[in-house]
Chain A
Amino acid sequence: MSIALIALWFASPLFAQHRLYTTGITSKGWVVGTKLQPSGLFLRMGKGWHRLGFLHPQIQTLDYDPRDPRRIYLAAGNGCIRSDDGGKSWRILTGWEMTELQDVSVDRNQPDHVWIALPDGVAVSRDAGKSWSRVNLGVARRFIQSIRVDRSQPGRVLAGGELGVLISEDAGASWNRSSPELRLVTHLEQSPHDAKRWLATTQEQGAYQSTDGGRSWQPLPGVPKGTLYNASFDPHGENRMALAGWGVGVVVSEDGGKSWRDGAQGLPSRAVWRAVFDPDQAGALWVSVHEEAAFLSPDAGRSWRRAGLEGSILYDFIFVPETAP
């Protein structure tokens, strides 16, 4: 088999190595207490989506256990929810003390350690969700929107929130702010190519890049104004990345963030909740357009097609390996 054929095999969705989940709500017309349209957790199957588990209006995202990727943790309004069968059956792990989860991250080097971002801080479980403890961030402003465990070092945790980026090098025992003071860090993302490289998006203060593992941050030039909701690295291209946001739509960089091109041409609006590159298709980019649908671009944002879940807000697209490595 030629190298080209091997590359094609890996790039083809027919031989996808990941399951694609999305989390969100079909929100048009919904307020708490009224009938909820299909919402919660969805799995991509063929060219459609299959809803898994319960209807739930607020599942922000999920992460998985690398030892068994069918074990997933959901960051939900009702708490941190674990499923051991890929999303079909659920158990709420947290109690009343923790609500309206914003994010969840499993430590790749010690997968029983699960970190959650809360509107009032950070909590960690060190036994796969059986018990939880809050960590002391050392600050009064504790709204945390995004949390990531550094895959290169167990117990090294980055939390993005109201004050900026907080880092713990000692499994949550102590924290320091490494970014400038920012109104709200909305998302943190570690490069799949270089573990030292991170992106942070913010509310109306642009995007920041770190090349030293999150210890220092520099603003990315040329990023449009507006609330940025997330950043994504393309696993197939070291210098390709995308930013999504409200009013911004999607912007794509092919040169490691030095310049950005508009990737929202052809989308019905620039109110975009998420943009995530597909690890199984080179250049493929998934986005969620506010109360429109999921959209898929095969060419890194140059053209788009609708990809289901009409009328939805999708908070995240998450690619989970089919099998443990």
Chain B
Amino acid sequence: MILFTVLFASLVAPAWADGGDRERQFRERVRAVIEHHARSDSGYAAVAARLALKRDAAWASRQLRQLLKEPTGDMFWMFPVTAIAYLDHGQLSPEARQALRESWRTYMPYRGDTENHWLLYYTCLYLMSQLYPNQPGETWYTGKSSAENQKEAEEWIRHWMDLTTTIGQGEYDCTHYLGVYALPLSYLYAWSNDPDLRERARKMLDWVIADYAVENLNGIYAGAHARTDDVQVLEKWRGVSSDLGWLWFGLGYPLPGYSAYGFFYAVASAYLPPELIHRIATDRSRPYLHREQKRTRHRWRFTDIRNAPVFKTTYVTKDYVVGSDQGGVLQPVQQHSWDVTWDVEDPRGVQNTIFSLHPYSSTYELQMYFTPMPDFLIESVVRSKKSYDSPDKFLGGSPYEEVTQELDTIIALYQIPPGTRFPHINGFFSKDLRDLREDASGWIFARGGRTYLAYRPLAPYEWRPLREGGKRLFSPYLKNGTIVQAAAQDEFRSFDEFCDKIRNLPLQVRLDPVPSVRFRTLRGKEMNVSYGAGRPVSNGRLFEGPFLNSLVGSKRLTLTHGGEQMVLDLR
């Protein structure tokens, strides 16, 4: 039977670009990114690009000395400067090289407070200490010797790898921060002198890239995210992840000007992911269900559990992706718990998604995840995360939301305590939806790309216009909920047929004493869900699906496609 499956898979598998073409096309994209930054006339990336191309070292030296007169940016300063140090190869003037080295004595980057900050910080400290070995503490901002710096950095990097491959990534599946994980791993793979660390970095790159590959839709990172932002949560393409999806796999479209993360990835290892991951990223010939376990960011207060488990479910088709986590506050800011993302030919400028949320913000939540005193916390977050304290927002988790998913059906239930700030539900209805109908049955029907959508609000609502088009479903009821069913256009003779089928699905809704739904989905699954009826528990799997499989605690990820298998073993 296994033999038959393998044989069958090989017969029906798409005709992949052969290895040579794939490699050549990847190198062309890498070259395009580097050339683009080499045309810039200022900034660290421009310096690094010229050094990578061995072009105009005199200009690069002058520019670097100018930039280093006033270092700023903490760990975001460290990564371009580290790349420049490694791309130098004798091209920089002695004065510029000395200025670079000196800046690591005179400027103390802040280590930051998140996993992405730390991976950048410690990777760069590791590599710079490696580049300048046997130097005393007086020559480093840390006051520690090269050996001490390198040991500390390596310990944390290995610790992070262990944590990620046993209980999951903390800042998981981020549309922006994917770049901040790929970049330092690219550096370590390219420049670490330690063969073991270099090999582990390569495996972690494969791990992180595969994690993205399995949940991307034509380059767009779909499903639930630990973090995204106000723009990317609506215009799903506009993330660094899209830039990298284009770079790695030729999928979709790069960001305008190519992101710095893609660029520095390219000038470091320019690592081409294995063919197997390429296939996982691009094969949407059959729908599949994929599950993951991740972990929350460090929780400092109000809980006994430092990193609680996050359970993700993602259903992927060629036309759309339905993805979710279990709801609740899993991250302090920028969490995105669920949506349907649909495919469009050109996603640039398109808001190709639908979802709802309870717009929650609180000092309690921020104190759980951040260490400062309480009263200034919300304002300090809002300074960089503009919508955090807005009742109109479409971003963030809520402790009063519980999400359940069966294939391409989602039920989100809300029970908001009286007195909660922002006591309402926001549903996002994109400007790019077509044929939107408010049906007498209570369903709202619409089309997005080649996807048919049925959205059922569980409480009365009204519409609020959105500045950039589309509208917000506003429902000021504390006991509330949303059901969403997605389906592909080509499953039906017409949109009307889809609407008819949805209308005829058995559905019972109660809002008292708690929101409850009994629903038979379009796929025939019985969903019987009540708010607070029980939280998900781990089934012991970090990844589970047709392509990626891993056991919690195993440090092993098995990748499978078309009868071929690859194991990433980080034990």
- Residue count of chain B within 8 Å CB distance of chain A: 40
A1 within 8 A of B: no
A225 within 8 A of B: no
Residue of A nearest to B385 (CB): A31
List A contacts of B304 (CB < 8 A).
140-141
Within the complex, the shortest CB–CB distance from B177 to chain A, in Å, comes to 13
Residues 82 to 97 of chain A near chain B (Cβ within 8 Å): 89-92, 95-96
Chain B positions 271 through 305: 1 when the CB is less than 8 Å from some CB of chain A, otherwise 0: 00000000000000000000000000010111110
Residue of B nearest to A35 (CB): B72
Within the complex, the shortest CB–CB distance from A288 to chain B, in Å, comes to 12
A32 touches B117 (CB 8 A): yes
**Which of A32, A141, A271 gathers the greatest number of chain B CB atoms within 10 Å?**
A32
List A contacts of B108 (CB < 8 A).
54-56, 78, 90
A99 touches B143 (CB 8 A): no
A29 within 8 A of B: yes
A271 touches B111 (CB 8 A): no
List B contacts of A95 (CB < 8 A).
152, 155
Residue of B nearest to A30 (CB): B383
A298 within 8 A of B: no
- Residue count of chain A within 8 Å CB distance of chain B: 42
Residues 20 to 52 of chain A near chain B (Cβ within 8 Å): 27, 29, 31-36
| Cβ-neighbour of B144 out of A33, A58, A92, A227 (below 8 A) | A92
Chain B at the A interface: mostly helix, strand, loop or mixed?
Answer: loop
Residue of B nearest to A100 (CB): B371
Within the complex, the shortest CB–CB distance from B171 to chain A, in Å, comes to 14
Q: A90-B143, A246-B375 are in contact. Are A99 and B72 (CB under 8 A)?
A: no
Question: How many interface contacts (CB-CB < 8 Å) are there between A and B?
Answer: 94
List B contacts of A81 (CB < 8 A).
143
A229 within 8 A of B: yes
List A contacts of B118 (CB < 8 A).
96
B72 touches A36 (CB 8 A): yes
A120 within 8 A of B: yes
B306 touches A91 (CB 8 A): no
Query: How far apart are the CA atoms of A227 and B384 in the complex, in Å?
Result: 24
Query: How far apart are the CA atoms of A313 and B141 in the complex, in Å?
Result: 24
Q: A77-B111, A227-B373 are in contact. Are A120 and B306 (CB under 8 A)?
A: yes
| Cβ-neighbour of B383 out of A31, A143, A271 (below 8 A) | A31
Q: A32-B74, A32-B110, A55-B108 are in contact. Are A92 and B143 (CB under 8 A)?
A: yes
Residue of A nearest to B306 (CB): A120
Query: How far apart are the CA atoms of A27 and B76 in the complex, in Å?
Result: 19
Residue of A nearest to B77 (CB): A33
Chain A positions 283 through 305: 1 when the CB is less than 8 Å from some CB of chain B, otherwise 0: 00000001000000000000000
A66 within 8 A of B: no
Residue of B nearest to A273 (CB): B373
Chain B positions 103 through 124: 1 when the CB is less than 8 Å from some CB of chain A, otherwise 0: 0000110111100011000100
B301 touches A58 (CB 8 A): no
Residue of A nearest to B368 (CB): A143
Residue of A nearest to B111 (CB): A78
List A contacts of B373 (CB < 8 A).
186, 227, 229, 246, 273
List B contacts of A203 (CB < 8 A).
374
Chain B positions 134 through 154: 1 when the CB is less than 8 Å from some CB of chain A, otherwise 0: 000110011110000000110
Residue of A nearest to B364 (CB): A183
B234 within 8 A of A: no
Within the complex, the shortest CB–CB distance from A28 to chain B, in Å, comes to 9
A57 within 8 A of B: yes
Residue of B nearest to A245 (CB): B375
A162 within 8 A of B: yes
A143 touches B110 (CB 8 A): no
Q: A32-B74, A33-B73, A92-B144 are in contact. Are A162 and B374 (CB under 8 A)?
A: no
B142 touches A91 (CB 8 A): yes
Within the complex, the shortest CB–CB distance from A296 to chain B, in Å, comes to 22
Residue of B nearest to A313 (CB): B376
List A contacts of B300 (CB < 8 A).
119-120, 143
Q: A96-B122, A271-B375, A290-B376 are in contact. Are A91 and B144 (CB under 8 A)?
A: yes
Known: A36-B110, A99-B111. 12 other contacts (CB 8 A): A34-B72, A36-B72, A54-B107, A77-B110, A91-B143, A95-B152, A96-B152, A96-B155, A99-B113, A100-B113, A100-B371, A119-B300
| 25 intermolecular pairs with C-beta atoms under 8 Å apart | A31-B384, A32-B74, A32-B113, A33-B74, A33-B75, A34-B72, A35-B72, A35-B73, A55-B108, A57-B110, A89-B138, A90-B143, A91-B142, A91-B144, A92-B143, A96-B155, A96-B156, A100-B113, A102-B371, A120-B298, A141-B301, A141-B302, A143-B300, A271-B375, A290-B376
Binding site for A on B (CB under 8 A): 72-76, 107-108, 110-113, 117-118, 122, 137-138, 141-144, 152-153, 155-156, 159, 298, 300-304, 306, 371, 373-376, 380, 383-384
Complex A-B, nearest 10 residue pairs according to Cβ-Cβ distance, in ascending order: A91-B143, A54-B108, A246-B375, A140-B304, A96-B156, A31-B384, A35-B72, A119-B300, A33-B76, A100-B371
